Structure 1
Amino acid sequence: MFNEIEGQKKLIRVDDIIEKLHNVKNFVLISCGGGSPYSRSVENSTGTLATMFESFNGNIISCQWDVPTKSTIYIVNEMIEQIKHNSLGVDEALIVAQRKVREEYGNPMYWAGIEFWKN
């Protein structure tokens, strides 16, 4: 699905990704510079989150700030486990994962910036 995007050494706009989404219910965007206005109409955009709300109908998980990689990987892996083994929804799985990651990474910088939005 993302062959033409994956691995490119250039700026990738959220618009580029959303255009390729079909029948997708959950959109997880974990990236550096998560709040930077990188859409086609930069002058009208307040950031990546605004672009996702304008262009995607479904569940959105995004970062409000740059969350460190190790704790983010832990959270995403734990979410997947909770969804697979405990049949939790994406929103509940994120809460459980954040509670677990707090045991290892107490500082909210490591986990609190990851948010769930239902659009």
Structure 2
Amino acid sequence: MRIVDPAFIGPGTDYWWDVGVEHSRDALSRFSAVEWADLLEGWSSQSGEWQDQLAYILGEDGSEREIRLLLDMARSPRPEVALRARESLRGLPAGAIRSATLAAGLAAVGVSVQAEGQSQVRTGNAPT
């Protein structure tokens, strides 16, 4: 597994919390699908401070992938990370959280939700 360059979140100095947070959010907004996959797979292998900062910057755009990551982080064994993720989730619309949770649950059983309420059931690798 290769995690994206963790340097997109800088050290937890006062500077990061005052200024660097915007740089980190900007870098995150430009992530490719591959970088997102790497982040989703490898975030928990980073330091607690790094995870805390990641939870802080997530949720700005309310995207499903950010919400799903925050939901994962809210179950972190590190109390400070779980708390920060829950704080970030608290600021999001309940409907967006429900949608992300529903999509994650459906994906786990092989159903993907598409535009206009259509769904697609996957069997193996081929859509039906």
Q: More helix by proportion, 1 or 2?
A: 2
Same fold flag (TM > 0.5)? no
**Shorter-chain TM-score: which interval?**
0.3 to 0.5
RCO higher in structure (CA 8 A, sep ≥6): 1
Say which one has the larger Rg: 2
